[in-house]
Every structure is written in structure tokens, then in C-alpha cells.
Amino acid sequence: MTNSIKLVVIDYQSGNLRSVAKALESVGVSPVVTGKAAEIGAADAVVLPGVGSGPAAMEALRRRDLVEPIREYVASGRPFLGVCLGLQLLLERTEEGDADCLGSIAGRVKRLPEGQKVPHMGWNSVSFQQEHPVFQGIPQDSHFYFVHSYYAAPEDDTWVAGTTDYGVSFCSIYARDNLVATQFHPEKSGRLGLRIYQNFVSLAGNPTTQSAQRSSTEIPPTPLLQRGAKGDLLKADS
């Protein structure tokens, strides 16, 4: 049963935690909102929310010794959902302050182009590029709520599951097996946003679906990232 899973929402003082928790409660799960590494490591599924500054968020994660636990969790194969800034933090580096991020996704975070009102705030459509259980039942070109000034630019667009246009066509959904992340806020996106959380909870409560999703593609995942002696991000040898 989905209500028996341990779903952790990571608390690092950089997210609309209450809104995310209420959305999860509305789909039948009681999330554990915590910033403790041990709780994250013991979770069946994890949500990384986030709003605001990327560099400030990374500093908050470092102060709480959460950087490595999050990287390890993503690599573990268990369901992980990043929301808004929670997507951007998964990449290697951000143009905002030219700062390192978690490095779970190869690529950079870029600022939205000039000529557009920034931040991009309001409803916009998502063009789905591939199927994933977390987006089952969501119609093509559905609208979701965005608030952001930067966007994720993965090196490999194989895993870009949805795109949105705002002066540039950007990755609004990233989906690689267990790792799913959205630039928009499902918890602010009405019925369809709640459907995404419901699907994520269902995925977390169904190991068979997780296994099938991991084996549904012959394309290998992005190589794990390691850090050199000076802290530089390096791709592991394939």
C-alpha cells in the first residue's frame, strides 16, 4: 500500500515544504520532512524541493552534510523527484554565481534569455518527449505552474522527457529511470500536478514498476560523476 512507504521531503530551508507535504498528503502518503541524512538514506522515495538561489541552496546542503547522501540516494535506484530548483541542483554547475551543484546529471544550469520577462512566472505548456510512469495519464501540452529565472540544460537530451518554450525551448522534465525532476511546481499546478505526485507515490510503492522502468531502455545512464583532488567534477571512465 502506498501509505506504508517512507517518503522523505528534504528540508534544507530552501523550499516550499508545506505545499509539497500537503500535496503528498492529499494523494495518500504522510511524508517525513527532514534534513537528516540517516532518514534520507532509509527512505523508499525522496522529494527534493527548492526555490530561490542555486548557490545558496548548495551552501545550505553542504552545511547540513547532505550533498553526498543525496548523490548516493540518486545512484541507489530508488525513486527520486526534484522540483523546480530541485531539478537545477542535480546538474553539474550553474551560471548563477558560477557554482558547483550535485553533479547527478551531466550539464549546466543557464539563465533564461534576454528579451523575456524574468522570472518566468505563471502557467505554461509542456511538450512530452517520452513516456514515464510518473506522467501516466497526463495529456500532451498540459499546462503547469512555473517560477524560475534559470533552466536546466542537460548534455544528453535522451533523458529530456518534456520541454517548454519561453524565449528558448528548455528542459521542463528530466526522467532517467528512478530519477525524475520538473522545472515546474506540481504542487501549484492543480489536478494534473497532484496526478504527478500520485504517480510518483505509486511508483515508490511498486518495486515491479521500478524494475520495469529501469529495464525499459537499452541506453545506459549518464556516467557517475566523481570529484578530483581540487573538487572539480570528473566523469568516471566508462
pLDDT of the residue at 209: 56
How far apart (Å, rounded) are the C-alpha atoms in residues 71 and 12? 15
17's enclosing H/E stretch is: helix 17-26
Can you give the CATH number for the domain in which 194 is found? 3.40.50.880
> pLDDT per residue over 52-95, tens digit each?
999 999 999 999 999 999 999 999 999 999 999 999 999 999 99
pLDDT of the residue at 15: 73
> Measuring CA to CA, how many Å separate 203 from each of 27, 58, 229?
13, 28, 38
How far apart (Å, rounded) are the C-alpha atoms in residues 62 and 146? 27
Among residues 125, 173, 132, 146, which one has the least CA distance to residue 51? 146
- What is the reported pTM? 0.86
Helix (H, G, I), strand (E, B) or coil at 143: strand
Calculate ∠ Cα 174-177-178, nearest 5°.
Answer: 90
Confidence grade of residue 207 (pLDDT, cut at 50, 70, 90): low
| Domain interval for residue 200 | 2-235
Confidence grade of residue 4 (pLDDT, cut at 50, 70, 90): confident
Helix (H, G, I), strand (E, B) or coil at 158: helix
In total, how many domains does the chain have?
Answer: 1
How far apart (Å, rounded) are the C-alpha atoms in residues 46 and 160? 20
Q: Which three cell numbers stand for residue 117?
A: 520577462
Please, what sign has the CA dihedral across residues 220, 106, 31, 69? positive
213's enclosing H/E stretch is: helix 207-214
How far apart (Å, rounded) are the C-alpha atoms in residues 200 and 41? 18
Contact 161, 177 (CB under 8 A): no
Give the catalytic positions in this structure. Answer: 84, 185, 187
> pLDDT per residue over 135-188, tens digit each?
999 999 999 999 999 999 999 999 999 999 999 999 999 999 999 999 999 999
Number of H helices, E strands in the chain: 7, 16
Q: What is 99-123 written as a DSSP string?
A: EE---SEEEEEEEPPTTS-SSEEEE
